[in-house]
Amino acid sequence: METFDLVIIGGGPGGLSAAIYAIRAKMNVVIIEKTGLGGQIAVTDIIENYLGFPSLSGADLVGHFETHVKSLGVPVKYALVEKITKEDGLFILSLGNEKVGAKSVIVGSGAEPSKLKIPGELEFTGRGVSTCATCDGPFYRGRDIAIVGGGDTAVKEAIYLSRLVKKIYLVHRRDSFRAEKILQERVLARPNVEFLWFHKAVEVKGDQSGVTALEVQDVRTEAVRALEVHGVFIFVGIVPNTAFVDCDKDAAGFIKTNEKMETSVPGLYAIGDCRVTPLRQVAVSVGEGAIAAVSAGDYVSELEGTAYAGKAKSK
């Protein structure tokens, strides 16, 4: 079984940042990523709040990250971590038919879009129901769609999709958005976006060709109406990918940490969207990755009496 000083689970911004700090500290490190580097920002249309880049696509930003990491020779293993156990102070990561050992682990496994759990949602996923505007938006060019949600993601994707589709019904159960003010101003100015305040989605309708309508209900009057749309984009929060790890979590499954990104298990750290945090942004994840890597270096240093992270061996 191959054993590392540090295994980083997830190749998002936080994981890549952690890898840079770890490799510079001369740690034996590997990133384990299940699909591709970059995480959810890889399919984000435009990012405007990352320092040094006034406006660029998520794919372009990931390209910069990936170039930096590859220049340092950080190894990446593509696999799904199914379980983490700890035996005699060593973490054992189960990757299907393979196991990897680690003296320390950083969990940056991210999160998946939440589901509405309404009739028709699962049936028409991939046939009109989507959670990725940049992936599926071009299929609805010149057609009518509905977007469900009121946070940053819903509003940003509405702005992007409004440039492609004929009309958007933006369905939100409250009377105001939770998104950044500048994003609210932009979406409210879009002429082809109709806002359905105080409404919730109740059923996705369709046939063999795909989605044909979204039924919505006024939460005040309980009146139901059908929106004739060909696409339904759902952005109503996230669910953390943390089922494989055993440590303290909140009721929703997000991992609890302290300011050093330490979890309830010594040597185990959490960063990014899978962690309890008041703000989920690229800049935040990058900073958390740096902190976690230094913390992990200190932990391994204590185990071995070496001098990771620039710390001298204590006497």
Enumerate the domain spans of the chain: 2-112+238-310, 115-234
Catalytic residue among 132, 152, 218, 247: 132
Closest CA to 98 of 77, 116, 129, 127: 77
User: Distance between CA 315 and CA 308 in Å, rounded?
Assistant: 15
Count of C-beta atoms within a 10 Å radius of residue 287: 16
Note if 273 is an active site residue: no
pLDDT at 315: 34
Lookup: tokens for 244:
């494989």
Domain 115-234 coded CATH 3.40.50.10800? no
CATH superfamily of 2-112+238-310: FAD/NAD(P)-binding domain (3.50.50.60)
135 is catalytic: yes
Residue 279: which of 138, 187, 152, 172 has the closest Cα?
A: 152
Q: Active-site residue among 135, 175, 248, 250?
A: 135
Q: What is the pLDDT of residue 61?
A: 96
User: What are the structure tokens assigned to 220, written together?
Assistant: 């005040």
Q: Over range 84-103, report the average pLDDT.
A: 95
CA triple 67-50-47, angle to 5 deg: 90
Question: What does the pLDDT read at residue 306?
Answer: 59
Least confident interval from 15-24, 38-47, 98-107, 241-250: 38-47
Instruction: Enter the pTM of the model.
Output: 0.88
Question: If residue 201 lies in a helix (H) or strand (E), which one and from where to where?
Answer: strand 199-207
pLDDT of the residue at 312: 39
Instruction: Judge if 2-112+238-310 and 115-234 fold alike in CATH terms.
Output: yes
Q: What string of DSSP letters covers 234-302? A: E---EEES-TT--S-B-TTSPBP--TT-B-SSTTEEE-GGGB--S---HHHHHHHHHHHHHHHHHHHHH
Q: Are strands 90-95 and 98-107 parallel, antiparallel or unpaired?
A: antiparallel
In this prediction, residue 193 carries a pLDDT of: 98
